[in-house]
Homo-oligomer: A and B are copies of this chain.
Amino acid sequence: MASASIPSNPADLLRAAGIKVTPGRVRVLQALHGARQPLCHGEMEAQLGVDGEAAMDRVTLYRILDSLVACGLALKAVDTRGVFRFSAAGAQRQHANHIHFRCTDCGGVFCLKAEPPPPPTLPEGFRLRRAEFDVCGTCDRCSGDTTPLVPR
């Protein structure tokens, strides 16, 4: 097998990003890539404990996550409860060109066909970093059966 020009295993990703390859970082990156949705700090701690290895220090985990975000290998966001959630960068690339629908009932995320709207023009001096169309409501299953969902 020839050497991969597009690195995909955690160690290579870390090397390519220019930060040291440590067991902790490899484990965290693996966990992020294996996750089907962004993980918060606590979930990640639990996840890592399952590996059979000793649980990682809380602060170290925070620092690893920060370093991954800083070098672009991970993304940081905040959920509705105000907790930071981390996801592997690149995981969202496949989710680039369509809109997501979030079910507020079951928490599920669904991909819509529609293209995201173009970013708006900003006033002088403003810099756009991210523009996201946040669409939420209830999915087909959750809409159907029970919840009247406070129409007020």
| A interface residues (Cβ-Cβ under 8 A, vs B) | 70-72, 78-84, 99, 101, 104, 110, 112, 114, 117, 119-141, 143-144, 149-150, 152
B72 touching A82 by the CB < 8 A rule?
A: no
For A141, the closest partner residue in chain B by CB is B125
B137 touching A125 by the CB < 8 A rule?
A: no
For A81, list chain B residues within 8 Å (CB).
78
For A78, the closest partner residue in chain B by CB is B82
A140 touching B126 by the CB < 8 A rule?
A: yes
Tell me whether A126 and B99 are in contact in the complex, defined as CB-CB below 8 angstroms, given that A83-B82, A131-B133 are known contacts.
no
Contact of A112 among B71, B122, B129, B152 (CB under 8 A): B122
For A152, list chain B residues within 8 Å (CB).
71-72
Q: Nearest-CB distance from A128 to chain B (Å)?
A: 4
A99 touching B120 by the CB < 8 A rule?
A: yes
For A129, list chain B residues within 8 Å (CB).
104, 136-138, 149
- The 9 sampled A-B contact pairs (Cβ below 8 Å) are A101-B122, A101-B126, A104-B129, A117-B133, A125-B139, A126-B137, A131-B135, A131-B136, A132-B133
